[in-house]
Amino acid sequence: MKVAKIKVKDNIEKTVLSFLRETIDKKLFDAILIPMMVPAGDSYAWVLAQDKSLLDGAYYLPPIMSVQGAKALSSVTKGGKVNKRVAAIMRPCEIRAAIELSKLNQIELENIFLISMDCPGALPLKDWLKDPKRGVDVFKKVIQHFVDEEPKPDKSVRPACAICHRFSDSDAVDLHIGILGTEGEDILFIPHSTQAEAIFAELGLSLNENLSRWQKGVDEVLKQRKKKRAQVQEELKSTVVGFDKLLDTFSNCINCHICQSVCPICYCRQCYFDSDKVKHPPDDYLMRAESKGNISLLPDKILFHLGRMSHMALSCVGCGACEDACPMSIKVAQIFSLIADRSQGLFNYIAGKSIEEPLPMRVYEDDEFHEVESP
């Protein structure tokens, strides 16, 4: 594989941005979809930026994931293809969600150039909001630890990020930005499409082939994350698997459905679990109360979570958005990823990995899954 290596000037962030600026200068793209710091300086919002000057406030890798990037891209392209050439730069789990959404017809990828990066994770929104200024420094450390020749896991990232093992998955993007194993000295631009290669040629980026340092960094982080994932999932199993334990886990849930509304995969305009179908006459609730003497309201809390799982676990990308936003700090993403791993494993499917692979529920084989049939 050929890659272009760029020396970091000032810092990684600025170097990536100046690359993006150049692509606009050279008219390779008309607009860039990228997170930008909001005026109060306490968060980042997705902005579709056409003006090059706007990029001064942009961050290709912000400390938090305020809105899942696939949701932003879907907002831009849901109504059909854009007539501009847009580069969208997002974390790997956001890219994967975007791929799932394109299979679900909620994103049109034509004219969209996808860029991702090695992702160190994001800080929990709740921690960040306590002191955004401090958050910026904390995140700088996270990156330092990540790109170190001997990468160290950082405890300040979100639980979903600490166990993410697809932090450098890049099959579906046009361009991947490698920062691992570089000590923050270089950036690797790794092209994955002919369009990316053409852009390199336009920008006069020369390609060399040495990926070994980067690969070593990737392998090391992968090892760490996989270990952590196994450990967390093992612990989780003992606390949430089984109907009673599941009920217990979600007993704090206040039915706000924020987890669903921030989930990139839950794209339905009107969730079934908010529809008229789940609204019942009083007798219904009373009957349920009488059968146990006492019911917690609303009784379809657990139905909501199980239902949501069955609707979207095959496409869950483990991005952690649900958990990050849950006002009751329920481990929604960890639970959903556990279920996702299992159900996607059944179909040998990895959500968002490749655009060619069809959604498992859209295809079948004549001769399969006999084990689920009863004789």
Q: Residues interacting with other proteins, by CB under 8 A?
A: 31, 33, 36, 38-40, 42-43, 45-51, 53-54, 66-67, 71-72, 75-84, 125-126, 129, 248, 251-252, 254-258, 261-262, 269-270, 274-276, 279-283, 285-286, 289-290, 293-298, 324-329
Rank residues 76 and 161 by Cβ distance to ligand SF4 and give the closer one.
161
- What is the nearest approach in angstroms of ligand SF4 to the Cβ of residue 115? 20
Candidates 65, 107, 263, 338; binder of ligand SF4 (CB under 6 A) is 263
| CB 301, CB 235: distance < 8 Å | no
How many whole angstroms separate alpha carbon 282 and alpha carbon 71? 37
Is there binding between residue 162 and ligand SF4 (CB under 6 A)? Answer: no
Rank residues 178 and 318 by Cβ distance to ligand SF4 and give the closer one.
318
4 binds, among ligand SF4, other proteins, none (CB under 5 to 8 A by kind): none
- Cα→Cα distances 177→198, 214, 316, 332, Å: 16, 11, 24, 30
- What is the nearest approach in angstroms of other proteins to the Cβ of residue 119? 19
Q: How many other C-beta atoms are found inside a 10 Å radius of the C-beta of residue 75? A: 15
240 binds, among ligand SF4, other proteins, none (CB under 5 to 8 A by kind): none
Amino acid sitting at position 24: I
User: What are φ and ψ of residue 34, in 5° steps?
Assistant: -150, 150
End-to-end CA distance of the chain: 51
Residue (of 319, 243, 309, 249) closest to 273 by Cα position = 309
Q: Which two tokens stand for residue 147?
A: 């790109």
x/- mask, ligand SF4, residues 105-144, rule CB under 6 A, reads ----------------------------------------
Is there binding between residue 328 and ligand SF4 (CB under 6 A)? Answer: yes
Q: How many other C-beta atoms are found inside a 10 Å radius of the C-beta of residue 326? A: 20
265 binds, among other proteins, ligand SF4, none (CB under 5 to 8 A by kind): ligand SF4
3-state secondary structure of 308: helix
296 binds, among ligand SF4, other proteins, none (CB under 5 to 8 A by kind): other proteins
Strand 31-37 and strand 86-89: pairing? parallel
- Is the backbone peptide bond immediately before 123 cis, with ω within 30 degrees of 0? no
How many whole angstroms separate alpha carbon 16 and alpha carbon 30? 17
- Cα→Cα distances 39→16, 43, 62, Å: 22, 9, 15
Is there binding between residue 38 and ligand SF4 (CB under 6 A)? Answer: no
333 binds, among other proteins, ligand SF4, none (CB under 5 to 8 A by kind): ligand SF4
- What is the nearest approach in angstroms of other proteins to the Cβ of residue 102? 15
- What is the nearest approach in angstroms of other proteins to the Cβ of residue 303? 14
332 binds, among ligand SF4, other proteins, none (CB under 5 to 8 A by kind): ligand SF4
How many whole angstroms separate alpha carbon 7 and alpha carbon 185? 6
Q: What 8-state DSSP symbol labels residue 359?
A: P
Is there binding between residue 99 and ligand SF4 (CB under 6 A)? Answer: no
Rank residues 87 and 317 by Cβ distance to ligand SF4 and give the closer one.
317
Is there binding between residue 316 and ligand SF4 (CB under 6 A)? Answer: yes
Rank residues 91 and 192 by Cβ distance to ligand SF4 and give the closer one.
91
Candidates 139, 167, 336, 349; binder of ligand SF4 (CB under 6 A) is 336
Is there binding between residue 320 and ligand SF4 (CB under 6 A)? Answer: yes
Which string of DSSP letters, residue by residue, matches 11-54?
Answer: -HHHHHHHHHHHHHHTTS-SEEEEEEE-TTSS-EEEEEE-SGGG
How many whole angstroms separate alpha carbon 3 and alpha carbon 110? 25
293 binds, among ligand SF4, other proteins, none (CB under 5 to 8 A by kind): other proteins
- Cα→Cα distances 260→161, 240, 307, Å: 19, 20, 11
Q: Which residues bind ligand SF4 (CB under 6 A)?
A: 253-259, 263-265, 316-322, 326-328, 330, 332-333, 336
